[in-house]
Amino acid sequence: MLLLWFLLVAIMIVWPALVLATVISLWATLAIRPELLQNYRQFPLLYGIPVAGAASLGAMYVYQRRSAEKAAFLSSCAYLVFMLVGAAAGVYPNLLTSTTSAALNITVYNAASGMHSLSVGLVWWSFGMALALGYFVFVYRMFKGKVVEGGGHV
């Protein structure tokens, strides 16, 4: 019964608050930095990113109402990914924009390390990610299933 109550709260309060926060933050960002739409105008295919973000936001709502928890979770993951990718697409190639001169912007090009450092980093990152992925697979398989109220897993 308590789980049903939390589900209703999420659908009735949290989801509309998320939609409102998304709309307000998008409006505020574009009001302050309208140049973030420059990449979108130059490459219209990028408009698919916010559309996919909105679709994943809608999918969260639909799947929550159907009590499809896994699909709702995956939709929320997709929402986060599309929001981050959309922001990155808007600011690219700048990482940090200077308020005094565009020549002082930190871009992906002038912030990158040397080619040897990037190559070594890619190798170490690959090993590290493989290790982390193996750890997560191990942990999730070990503790898979829902936790029941009396303790333990189903």
Mean pLDDT of successive 10-residue stretches along the chain, which has 154 residues: 67 84 94 94 96 96 89 94 96 91 92 93 97 95 78 62
Q: How far apart are CA 34 and CA 26, in angstroms?
A: 11
CA torsion angle for 46, 80, 23, 89 (degrees, to 10)?
Answer: -30
Q: How far apart are CA 148 and CA 154, in angstroms?
A: 7
Coil, strand or helix: which one is 42? Answer: helix
pLDDT tens digits along 50-81: 999 999 999 999 998 898 889 999 999 999 99
Taking the alpha carbons at both ends of the chain, their separation in whole angstroms is 18
Residue among 54, 56, 69 nearest 7 (CA): 69
Residue among 18, 3, 29, 5 nearest 56 (CA): 18
